[in-house]
Chain A
Amino acid sequence: MAAEIPTARPATVTGIHAAPRARRRRPPQFYAGAAVLGLMLVIALFAPWISPHGYADQDLIKSLQAPAWSSGDWSHPLGTDRLGRDLLSRLMVGARVSIAVALLSVLLGGSLGTMLGLAAGYFGRRVDRLVSRVIDIQLSFPPVFLAIAIMAALGQSLVKLVVVLALVTWVQYARIARANTLSVREREFVQAARALGAAEGRILLRHVLPSILPPLLVVGAVNMSNVILAEAALSYLGLGVQPPTPAWGSMVSEGRAAQSVAWWGTVFPGVAIAVLVIGANLLGDGLQRER
């Protein structure tokens, strides 16, 4: 490696003496994104204990109360909805839906796409032709539109939502996994493992998979923001998680009925979605710049 460093440029300490495996400094976006997502995750995990009220507790006397700094009081910091339910508590519990759906569908779609892409790239021939064909076909269809159509036909539940979002996004992982497997397959360490008589499954899992994982993590982070937006849109349309479970998208849609007198009902859930998406985008951006 050292021979490749141009001699014309004076070798600086970081240039030539830095250990090849030195701890890389990640860009600030990475930490900012991780902090936002981490905070949201903590809120979601502990929502039932830290939220000031129950998410379904109604108090019709306090219906449509404004946020504390506007004309309300601090018992309902962000105000209440039409049924007098505390907005802050509902947002905290709603974080669970958004985050659970995002993580699970990225995990499911990612595993499915990685496995199929890995198989296509490694085994080639008919497996590759079949998987590539399916990838090509699905890439020519808009994912959100597909998700809306399937959710409408299937009916709504949390599990179906996760599965459908995974099914409309797996191709993005499969494409990257396939392309990277193709190049890794011929590398020396894979050949060496094969020469030593390692089983195909072992080569795939212990040698190929770890080396194609980093780019897939980037795809996952970028995809997470898309999945969060898709889940929010579906639940806004009434095709996501069903009431009384609060989801941010459906809260915006419920808030619209009283929008002209209670702006907070539609504004805050959207802010929550945007913050989560910004967190995911920052993380993705940070991971991308690192490579």
Chain B
Amino acid sequence: MARFLVQRLAHLVWVLLAVSILVFLLIHLSGDPIRLLTPLDAKPEDVERVRRLYGLDKPIPAQYWDFVRRALRGDLGESFRYQRPAFELVLQRLPSTAMLAVVTIAVTTLVGIPAGVWIGSRVGSLADWAVSLATFVCISLPSFWLGVLLILLFADRLRLLPSSGFESWRHLILPAATLSVYTTGLITRLVRADVVHVLRQDFIRTARAKGLGEPLVLGRHALRNAMISAVTVLGLQLGNLLGGSVVVEAVFAWPGVGWLMLQGIQTRDLPLVRAVVLVVGSAFVLINLVVDLLYLYLDPRIRYDHGR
């Protein structure tokens, strides 16, 4: 177990290193960053002064080192547009994105896992057929379009829910629903496949043979084993949610980090974009770590294999 943890932490360091290099390079990918900092008609000597001011006259490795040193102190530069520390701006917006992600994961878990277990234990029934078809459609819909449709229906036509912004819990419903459709469809399909597989195993026959009722067989034995892949995918989906929420936040003008990043992209505010990518990237890495730790709890095989 200790070895497993050490391995995971070493991996964490590698990933953070890669994220920092990517984030650093983002600003150079778009050409000479000095062009974003100075007006087109600036005098050459002024351009040089700005270049020195931002340390852009140094060699690239030295610039990277400066960047890492500052980032470790929480200094990710100043947003061009807001004239405020970019890191601070991202931290301010993080809670609303996190809230959207948590609600989505909650809906996905509460709907997807029971639904998957239910149809997984009734393979070939009408319910199985209907739910499988529905989940197939769910994973095939583009999220931004689904969001636009929901706005068209519930905000424009029926006038039941607000279409954009974040002032009350009612604003949360449509964006969370949009994001949940894909993840719920995915989890339902996976849990179904796992339950179908698990129910064919010997230990289930044993459980039934010793007279356990079907709810207990499903709840205690099948569900726990099916949870392993559900947790993996939920963990991965949480990361994809951060990506997908950029798109959905754009549709609903949701004041989260995704929307902040897009505004940064539109105004060529690269320090801001850089800060969002770094924070979201690090958050994703930490989520992965938590998912790995959850495995230890869920699957004794992992615990023992690495404990030796």
B156 within 8 A of A: yes
Asked whether A252 and B148 contact (CB < 8 A) given A141-B284, A145-B243, A281-B139, the answer is yes
The answer for the CA separation of A233 and B139 in the assembled complex, in Å, is 14
A273 within 8 A of B: yes
Whether A260 pairs with B140 at a CB distance below 8 angstroms is: no
**Across chains A and B, which 9 residue pairs bring their CB atoms closest together, nearest first?**
A270-B145, A145-B243, A144-B243, A142-B243, A153-B29, A152-B265, A142-B239, A277-B140, A278-B140
Which of A133, A150, A153, A267 is in CB contact (< 8 Å) with B27?
A: A153
Shortest distance in angstroms between A222's beta carbon and chain B's nearest beta carbon? 11
Q: How many interface contacts (CB-CB < 8 Å) are there between A and B?
A: 130
B18 within 8 A of A: yes
Q: Quick check: which of B42-50, B86-94, B116-124, B273-281 contacts chain A, the rest being far away?
A: B273-281
Asked whether A148 and B148 contact (CB < 8 A) given A140-B15, A281-B136, the answer is no
Q: Give 29 CB contacts A-B under 8 Å.
A: A140-B284, A140-B288, A141-B19, A141-B281, A142-B240, A143-B240, A143-B243, A144-B243, A145-B280, A145-B284, A148-B261, A149-B277, A152-B273, A153-B29, A229-B143, A233-B142, A236-B250, A237-B250, A252-B142, A252-B144, A252-B148, A259-B152, A259-B156, A263-B152, A267-B152, A270-B142, A273-B142, A277-B140, A281-B139
The answer for the CA separation of A136 and B12 in the assembled complex, in Å, is 10
Specify the main secondary structure of chain B where it touches its partner: helix
The answer for the CA separation of A46 and B259 in the assembled complex, in Å, is 38
Q: Could you mark each residue 195-214 of chain B with 1 if its beta carbon is under 8 Å from any beta carbon of chain A, else 0?
A: 00000000000000000000
What are the residues of chain B within 8 A of A149 when measuring CB–CB? Answer: 22, 26, 261, 273, 277
User: Size class of A's contact patch?
Assistant: 35 or more
Contacts of A228-242 to chain B: CB distance below 8 A: 229, 232-233, 236-239
Which of A142, A238, A277 is in CB contact (< 8 Å) with B242?
A: A142
Whether B149 pairs with A274 at a CB distance below 8 angstroms is: no
Whether A277 pairs with B240 at a CB distance below 8 angstroms is: no
The answer for the CA separation of A145 and B139 in the assembled complex, in Å, is 18
Shortest distance in angstroms between B251's beta carbon and chain A's nearest beta carbon? 8
Q: Which residue of A lies closest to B262 (CB)?
A: A237
The answer for the CA separation of A148 and B247 in the assembled complex, in Å, is 10
A180 within 8 A of B: no
Q: Could you mark each residue 49-89 of chain B with 1 if its beta carbon is under 8 Å from any beta carbon of chain A, else 0?
A: 00000000000000000000000000000000000000000
A225 within 8 A of B: yes
The answer for the CA separation of A179 and B289 in the assembled complex, in Å, is 23
The answer for the CA separation of A103 and B14 in the assembled complex, in Å, is 32
What are the residues of chain A within 8 A of B146 when measuring CB–CB? Answer: 270
The answer for the CA separation of A239 and B144 in the assembled complex, in Å, is 14
What are the residues of chain B within 8 A of A150 when measuring CB–CB? Answer: 26, 29
Which of A140, A144, A259 is in CB contact (< 8 Å) with B148?
A: A259
B285 within 8 A of A: yes
B30 within 8 A of A: yes
B216 within 8 A of A: no
How many residues in B have their beta carbons less than 8 Å from beta carbons of A?
45
Other than the given A278-B137, A281-B139, 12 more pairs (CB < 8 A) read A140-B239, A143-B243, A153-B27, A232-B144, A233-B142, A252-B148, A259-B152, A274-B142, A274-B145, A277-B141, A281-B136, A281-B140
The answer for the CA separation of A133 and B247 in the assembled complex, in Å, is 30
What are the residues of chain B within 8 A of A152 when measuring CB–CB? Answer: 265, 273
The answer for the CA separation of A154 and B244 in the assembled complex, in Å, is 20
Whether B143 pairs with A233 at a CB distance below 8 angstroms is: yes
A286 within 8 A of B: no
Whether B247 pairs with A237 at a CB distance below 8 angstroms is: yes
A256 within 8 A of B: yes
A121 within 8 A of B: no
Shortest distance in angstroms between B291's beta carbon and chain A's nearest beta carbon? 10
